[in-house]
Amino acid sequence: MSTGIKKQIIIVGLIVAVLAVAGLGLLYYYQKQGLIKVFPTVQEKTQAQALIIDRSKFKAPTGTSAEDFEKRIAELETYKGKILKDSKDLTSWLYFAAIKSFLNDHQGAADAWEIAYQIQPADFRISQNLGNVYQYFLKDYIKSESNYLKVLALRPDFTLAYEGLMDLYRYNMKENSVKYEPLVLQAIAEDKANAAEYYGNLVEFFAETDQVKAKTYLAEVRKLKPANAESLLTDYPALK
């Protein structure tokens, strides 16, 4: 092949490449303008990933029969079908996430709950579920804290969110243990029906490190539920 022909081939190849890139650029531009639909969006890719049903990630809970295990997987397929018809079907996303959680695919459940949150961020139950799954199963304590705080922003009296954060600060995020006492005092102010139990938690928290505080909070328990105070003294006789 002569040098001239080689140069012509290279030039033609470059022209084709430039036209291809320009064509892709135009397609992206037109899609962004809403005129055409060619490439999947980030949201669509995220949803497609969340809808994957991978049996290798499932583990039947203790006591679940093989029949019930298969039934739950079939339910996943049903809700997936509903979501494919309407990607904003919140109820189907919630059921899809709950079933994945039941089948011990906790990352899959978190992915589905995250999408449900994008659809309805005002539903505090979604953030509560995310707080729990990130703390107790996925060990992502930053995301867990963030989601519990979202719950309390919506429902300042929600007991389960306080309990989740208390576990987080006391056992799993000990670098934030300084937040434990202010959190429980907030819980006492906002969730008054459970004040005696919260005071009891403070007694347990300080029993080994600050007996003055522990005794102060024990006195509050005694005012509200004397039987609880006696039980705490049985566990922590040094507070007598």
- Phi/psi of residue 82, each to 5°? -65, -40
Please report where in the chains the tokens 């576990």 appear, as a residue.
167
- How far apart CA 193 and CA 171 sit, in angstroms, is 25
106 burial class (0-12, 13-18, 19+ CB within 10 angstroms)?
middle
Task: State pLDDT tens for residues 61-100.
Answer: 999 999 999 999 999 999 999 999 999 999 999 999 999 9
Task: State pLDDT tens for residues 196-230.
Answer: 999 999 999 999 999 999 999 999 999 999 999 99
Task: Please report which residue ranges of 137-194 form alpha helices under DSSP H.
Answer: 141-154, 159-167, 180-190
Task: State pLDDT tens for residues 4-63.
Answer: 565 565 555 555 554 555 554 554 455 555 444 555 788 899 999 999 999 999 999 999
Rounded to an integer, the average pLDDT of 135-154 is: 98
- Kindly report the pTM of this predicted structure: 0.83
Token digits for 81? 């079908």
- How far apart CA 137 and CA 126 sit, in angstroms, is 16
- How far apart CA 155 and CA 122 sit, in angstroms, is 10
Q: What contacts 193, CB < 8 A, 6 or more positions away?
A: none
CB 93 within 8 A of CB 112: yes
Q: How many CB atoms lie within 10 A of CB 82?
A: 15
Of the candidates 228, 219, 149, which has an alpha carbon nearest to the alpha carbon of residue 183?
Answer: 149
